[in-house]
Amino acid sequence: MARTGQPQDPVSTPQRILDAAEELFAEHGFDGVSIRQITARAGVELALANYHFGPKQDLFVAVITRRADALNSERRRLLEALPEPPTVEGLIDAFSRPFLEKSVHGGPGWKSYARLIAQTANAARWTRDIMTAQFDPIAEVFLAGMRRALPGAQEEDLYWGFHFLVGAMTLMFAETGRIDALSGGRFRAGDLERIHARLVPFMAAGYRALAEVASGNRASRK
Amino acid sequence: MARTGQPQDPVSTPQRILDAAEELFAEHGFDGVSIRQITARAGVELALANYHFGPKQDLFVAVITRRADALNSERRRLLEALPEPPTVEGLIDAFSRPFLEKSVHGGPGWKSYARLIAQTANAARWTRDIMTAQFDPIAEVFLAGMRRALPGAQEEDLYWGFHFLVGAMTLMFAETGRIDALSGGRFRAGDLERIHARLVPFMAAGYRALAEVASGNRASRK
DNA sequence: GTCTATAGCTTGATAGAC
DNA sequence: GTCTATCAAGCTATAGAC
């Protein structure tokens, strides 16, 4: 498209603002960043943030929702491609792999997005409500699949198992570096493929343990 | 002690400030709360926060560290009371039960504290470094126990399993209410005992699955 | 140890020229 | 769509009287 090596409008102003906001919100949280800092990093004037996105809260919502669609449509595609009935491992992989792929190969914006999601999901604020609106529909698809994969499990087990999975995934993709420090640098948060290779069998075994206790309660006490 | 029903200095000013700061930091994050709001909720004058705790950051550190000692000494007590070698379930229970007990029976301050920990652990900020300083020593004790409980496991499995456990615990004790909404109110984040009764077997099975794969790799490929 | 008063700065948002 | 200029409000931190 571009005729010369000189880029003409490489990225639009709204996109520059979104990218800067994503990075800074991820690092400092909603209240830890000013619109001045965002527009300065984006290389645009202060007034343009409000012109394109309205108040600061609306800009935050725009940052969250921008990547949620791409993530969830990929999740839905993988979940619907599973055999019937699906396996526990297949469900967990289909639910977690899109974030893995985006984080590893999607560019630095996806790393910021993962950190932002981790902060927001664990907060007790209006920001968390945006998250549930974005991610609860795909959670229903996951839970419906798990209901068929583990027909002996109690409903309650399916939900709390999902909660454990989400908590682990959230912390994992946030790449906080806690294990780096704890292990003296032997294991690194950036090795997402290595962690994911353990996440799937770990969570699958956990889910199965809950389902087996439920089934076992009907057959034997011990 | 008090001679009449009228309480004299029911709680000291520093404690009132800590309680108010804990509740507001948990709800809005470090940058989402002003010292004015904190002192107003505590019912003391603005200047007293700085007098007793210094700058805002030092007040935040004081809030985090106040309950960490009680929590970790109880964890250490339970971990050291385990049989030798410990069981996987025993380790996970000893590590998670103190937070459960405090959150259920310790008063509302512990609920705020859990939400604050969840926010802080998932952040990528200076606040997170305070957390690791407070909680990494007890994590070493947990990991050393798991090393004896699962002698066949790889070192890397022990660390990432711990990471999954911490992520799930963090989200669980934060009581964000996500499952309440997702389940249409059938299951509630406040039922911490019910969730904990599932956390222990779930995480134990996950840990064992990682260890069995590691042992199996030496004996057979499949 | 508590209170009043305030200095010095940053904030989100917008009005109005271009 | 972009830029300059600015407003009213809120912020942390502290000085100094009591």
CA of B193 vs C1' of C3, distance in Å? 47
The domains of chain B are located at 12-54, 65-220
Per the CB < 8 A criterion, the answer to whether A123 and B25 are in contact is no
SS3 call for B187: coil
Give the bases of strand C that a protein CB approaches within 7 Å. 1-6, 10-16
Q: Which residues contact residue B58 at a Cβ distance below 8 angstroms, ignoring those fewer than 6 apart?
A: none
Give the mean model confidence (pLDDT) for residues A3-10. Answer: 52
**Topology, domain B65-220:** Tetracycline Repressor; domain 2 (1.10.357)
CA of B45 vs C1' of D14, distance in Å? 14
Cα distance between residue B220 and residue B217, in whole Å = 6
Integer CA distances (angstroms), A220 to A213, A216, A217, B73, B204, in order? 10, 6, 6, 38, 21
CB atoms within 10 A of CB B48: 16
Tens of pLDDT, residue by residue over A10-41, are 799 999 999 999 999 999 999 999 999 999 99
**In chain B, which residues have their Cβ closer than 8 Å to the Cβ of A179?**
159-160, 162-163
Of the listed ranges A88-102, A156-170, A202-216, the least confidently predicted one is A202-216
Shortest CA gap B26–chain A (Å): 8
**Angle at B57 (CA atoms; ends B53, B61), nearest 5 degrees:** 75
CA of B206 vs C1' of C13, distance in Å? 51
- Provide the percentage of residues in chain A whose pLDDT is more than 90: 88
Q: Do A201 and B209 touch (CB under 8 A)?
A: yes
Report DSSP letters for B128-164, one per residue.
HHHHHHHHHHHHHHHHHHHHHH-TTS-HHHHHHHHHH
Tens of pLDDT, residue by residue over A164-190, are 999 999 999 999 999 999 999 999 999
SS3 call for B38: helix
Q: Do B201 and A213 touch (CB under 8 A)?
A: yes
B176, B186, B188, B208, best to mutate vs chain A, most A CBs in 10 Å: B176
Is any atom of strand C within 7 angstroms of residue A37's beta carbon? Answer: yes
CA quadruple B11, B12, B16, B22: dihedral sign: negative
B115 in reach of chain A (CB within 8 A): yes
Per-residue pLDDT of chain B (222 residues; tens, 9 = 90+): 434 444 556 799 999 999 999 999 999 999 999 999 999 999 999 999 999 999 999 999 999 999 999 999 999 999 999 999 999 999 999 999 999 999 999 999 999 999 999 999 998 888 988 999 999 999 999 999 999 999 999 999 999 999 999 999 999 999 999 999 999 999 999 999 999 999 999 999 999 999 998 777 655 444
Phi/psi region, residue A12 (left: phi>0; alpha: psi -120 to 50; beta: rest), is beta
Cα distance between residue A60 and residue A67, in whole Å = 12
pLDDT value at residue B3: 40
B210 in reach of chain A (CB within 8 A): yes
- A212 vs A16, more confident: A16
CA of B167 vs C1' of D14, distance in Å? 41
pLDDT value at residue A1: 40
Is any atom of strand D within 7 angstroms of residue B57's beta carbon? Answer: yes
The structure tokens listed for A156 are 């309650």
**In chain B, which residues have their Cβ closer than 8 Å to the Cβ of A32?**
29-31, 125
- Residues 170-209 of chain B within 7 A of strand D, judged by CB, are none
pLDDT value at residue A7: 52
**Topology, domain B12-54:** Arc Repressor Mutant, subunit A (1.10.10)
Give the mean model confidence (pLDDT) for residues A207-222. Answer: 74
A82 pLDDT exceeds 70? yes
A213 in reach of chain B (CB within 8 A): yes
Q: Do A119 and B115 touch (CB under 8 A)?
A: no
CA quadruple B211, B216, B217, B218: dihedral sign: positive
Entry pTM: 0.94
Identical topology for domains B12-54 and B65-220: no
The structure tokens listed for B66 are 């106040």
pLDDT value at residue B4: 40
Q: Do B170 and A171 touch (CB under 8 A)?
A: yes
pLDDT value at residue A216: 72
Tens of pLDDT, residue by residue over A61-74, are 999 999 999 999 99
**In chain A, which residues have their Cβ closer than 8 Å to the Cβ of B194?**
156, 160
Tens of pLDDT, residue by residue over A52-62, are 999 999 999 99
The model's confidence at residue A4, banded by pLDDT at 50, 70 and 90, is very low
Is any atom of strand C within 7 angstroms of residue A57's beta carbon? Answer: yes
Closest-approach nucleotide to residue B51, Cα vs C1': C1
pLDDT value at residue A38: 98
